[in-house]
Structure 1
C-alpha cells in the first residue's frame, strides 16, 4: 500500500467522526438515526475504480466492512474478483451515498440513504480521489448523483442506457448497475441483457483498471 496522503487521512478521520445523521436538532427524534453511527467508507489515493453504493446494511454496520454480506458476494461475482482484491484499497475505493446503516422501514426493508450525507460529503470525497476513472453507480441514489440532472427517473431506464454513461468522453465514466441484493433476482431474470451485455464490459473494464 502506498504512502498515505495527509489530506486523505484527515478526510477519513472526519468521516469516522461524523454524526450529522444522528444529531439533527431541527428534526424530531423519529427522524434521527436509530443507532450509534458507524460510517463505512473506503477512500483511496490510487484506486481507479470507485464503487458507489447506497448505504450499509445491518451486517456491514456490525462489521464495519463494506459489502460484507450476500449483496457483496454477488457484486464480487459480477466483478469477477476475489475478496482479497475487493478489499484492496489500492485497487478499489468503496464509498456509498450514505455512510451509515439507515435502519429499517415498517416492512423490514432497509431505508434509503440518509439525505444529509451526500450533500455534506460527496463533493469532498470525489475531489480527494481525482484518479478515479470509473464509477460503478449501484442503485438509483448513486446514479442520480453521479449522472446528474440528465439521469432517467427509473433505475431500469438508467441501466438500459449504460453505454451513454460508461463510454462517454468525460471522466470519470459512470457505469450504472442495479443493486446486487438478492431482492433483485427477479429483475435480473426479467432483464437477461444485463448479464449478457453489461457484465462482460464491467469485468473487462475493471480488470484493466485494477492491475
Structure 2
C-alpha cells in the first residue's frame, strides 16, 4: 500500500495532484468499487465521505464504523485519485490506474464474498465489457445473473441526483436492495480477525494519503 500512496503515474494529468483514496485488508469480505474519488473525497481523503456515501451505507444496511473497517470492507475504485471535471461532471478515472494496480491488489483479497460495482466504469472493470449492456440500467436489471456468475451486484451511483432513476425503476428498491442487504450481512458475519495491508505496525485500516501539495488550478 505504501507504493500506491506514493504513486505519481498520473500526476501530470491530475488538477489537484495525486492523492490515492482507498482501503483494503487481507481479511476484507466485501469489495466496494466505483469510478473515482470526487473533489470532496479528495479533500478529506476518506472514501464515500459525502451524501452519496450515506445513501450507499443505507442501501447496504451498515453503519459508518463497519463501512470504514478495512478488515471487513475494501473500497477500491477504478481510479484512486480525483481526475478533475469536464463539461458533464467528473472526468473518467485515469486509464493507467486500474491496469497498473488492480492486478497487484485484488488477488491479495482472498476472503472476498461479494463485490458491489457502482456505475458503468466499475461494472466494465469487474464484469468485463462483454457482460455489460450499453445502458447501465440494463446491466443493473440483470443483477441476478451477475450475482450468480461472479458474486457481483451491479449498482447505480447512490447520488441524490439519481432520484429520478429510482422512481423510474421501482424494482431496484423492491427487489435488489433486500438481496443486497442480505448478502452484505452474510458476508460480514464471516469476517475474520483483521490483517490489514499497510506498512503501519499495528493498523486497523489503511489510512488516507496525506494531502497533495500540488494544487494546480482546475482545468
The alignment's TM-score, normalised by the length of structure 1, stands at: 0.86
The answer to whether residue 112 in structure 2 is matched with residue 117 in structure 1 is no
Q: Which residue number corresponds to residue 50 of structure 2?
A: 69
Relative CO higher for 1 or 2, CA cutoff 8 Å, sep ≥ 6? 2
- Name structure 1 gaps, 5 residues minimum: 1-11, 24-31
The answer to whether residue 118 in structure 2 is matched with residue 129 in structure 1 is no
CA shift, 1:106, in A, is 2.8
**How many equivalent pairs are there?**
188
Partner of 2:11: helix, strand, or coil? coil
CA shift, 1:150, in A, is 2.2
The answer to whether residue 178 in structure 2 is matched with residue 192 in structure 1 is no
Q: Which residue number corresponds to residue 158 of structure 2?
A: 180
CA shift, 1:167, in A, is 1.8
Structure-to-structure mapping, 1:1-211, within 5 angstroms: 12-23=1-12, 32-107=13-88, 109-148=89-128, 149-168=130-149, 170=150, 173-211=151-189
Contact preservation (8 Å) 2:27, 2:110: no
Which consecutive segments of 4 or more residues in structure 1 shift more than 6 A? none
Partner of 2:49: helix, strand, or coil? coil
- Name structure 2 gaps, 5 residues minimum: 190-219
What is the distance in 2 between the residues matched to 1:46 and 1:154? Answer: 34
CA shift, 1:53, in A, is 1.1
Q: Which residue number corresponds to residue 7 of structure 1?
A: none
Q: Could you list the per-position Cα deviations for residues 137-165 of structure 1 after superposition, in whole angstroms to 9, with x for gaps in the alignment?
A: 00010101111122222211110000001
Q: Which residue number corresponds to residue 205 of structure 2?
A: none
